[in-house]
Amino acid sequence: MKSFKDKVAVVTGAGSGIGQALALALARQGAELAISDIHEHNVAETAAQCAALGAKVQHFRLDVGKREAIYAHADEVAKNFGRVNLVINNAGVAVNATVRELSDADFEWLMDINFWGVIHGTRAFLPHLTASGDGHVVNISSIFGMIGVPKQSAYNAAKFAVRGFTEALRQEMMIERAPVGVSCVHPGGVRTNIAKAARKGASDANRDLGVLFEKLAKTTPAKAADIILAGVKRNEARIFVGADAKLLDFMQRVLGSAYQKIIGPAFERQERT
């Protein structure tokens, strides 16, 4: 996909952060937009901003943790717009808790959104993307889909799984010579609401994770969106967002599993501050 002009783009989790920035960037580049979020008020606000930029846009309340809702959404978007070219499975949540602290309910909540939301979002739209003759799937993993980190076991599990799923799909599309590009995105820290909205275990009950995250996350959502869309145009298999993501990926490739000897102690120091 060399240009987004007149392409129909679907973005989940577009009420905030990276998803909102992607919607706005796509609007500026002439795409037609079907954007959704579990928080309808927020995605309506994003839609108003996209419309002000001159984009044709429809917004939807969608919980990506609900399989039937995603399939119904795919059919509705295809019907309303007549085609679908780009799907960005972006909606995501975080849980900050050790494996011991993590409840099954929180683990399942995260997997339903960060894992199943991406799988269903891909599979529901794939026939429409193929039919468009110029389709692309973008699945948002994380740098935590490349390295494991304490208190992120559920998030790591989902984001590693998204990477595996997406890399397999990309090869299948190539073998089939299907007109569908596939990219997996690995952001480092992007200054969004994700940490503030995160669920947390008992050891973090009195910590403001949002404040800590603000210090660590260097990339703005707008910059992240620009990097992601440039990567899509080049049909990149892996799109790294931010110098931190590139550095951590380099570290795990050079050190192999020994990266854990660096990340673990660095995390421990961070916990004490």
Ligand X SMILES: NC(=O)c1ccc[n+]([C@@H]2O[C@H](COP(=O)([O-])OP(=O)(O)OC[C@H]3O[C@@H](n4cnc5c(N)ncnc54)[C@H](O)[C@@H]3O)[C@@H](O)[C@H]2O)c1
Per CB under 6 A, residues contacting ligand X are 12-13, 15-19, 37-39, 42, 62-65, 90-93, 113, 140, 142, 187, 189-190, 192-194, 197, 217
Task: Tell me how far CA of residue 66 lies from CA of 36, 38, 120, 155, in angstroms.
Answer: 13, 11, 9, 18
Q: Look up residue 42 and give its two tokens.
A: 């927020």
Q: Closest CB to ligand X among 132 and 162?
A: 162
User: In which element (H, E) is residue 69 found?
Assistant: helix 67-81
Tell me the β-bridge partners of 37. Answer: 61
Phi, psi of 185 (to 5 degrees): -105, 135
Dig out the tokens for 36 from the structure.
């959704």
Q: How far is the CB of 6 from ligand X (least distance, A)?
A: 26
CA 83 to chain centre: 22
Of 218 and 234, which has the nearer Cβ to ligand X?
218
Amino acid letter for position 8: V
Q: What is the DSSP letter of 152?
A: B
Nearer to ligand X, 31 or 140 (CB): 140
Least Å distance, CB 124 to ligand X, is: 14
d(CA 39, CA 68): 18
Closest distance between ligand X and the C-beta of residue 140, in Å?
Answer: 4
What is the rounded distance in angstroms from the CA atom of residue 179 to the CA atom of residue 170?
11
Rounded to the nearest 5 degrees, what angle is found at the Cα of 30, between the Cα atoms of 7 and 53?
135
Q: Give whichever of 197 and 251 is closer to ligand X, judged by the CB atom.
A: 197
Catalytic residue among 4, 144, 155, 259: 155
Nearer to ligand X, 69 or 237 (CB): 69
- Alpha helix stretches (DSSP H) within 146-220: 153-176, 209-216
Active site residue 71: no
- Measured from the CB atom, the residue of 172 and 214 that comes closer to ligand X is 214
d(CA 169, CA 51): 33
User: What's the closest the beta carbon of residue 219 comes to ligand X, in angstroms?
Assistant: 8
DSSP per-residue codes, 234-245 = TT-SEEEESHHH
Which residue numbers are catalytic? Answer: 155
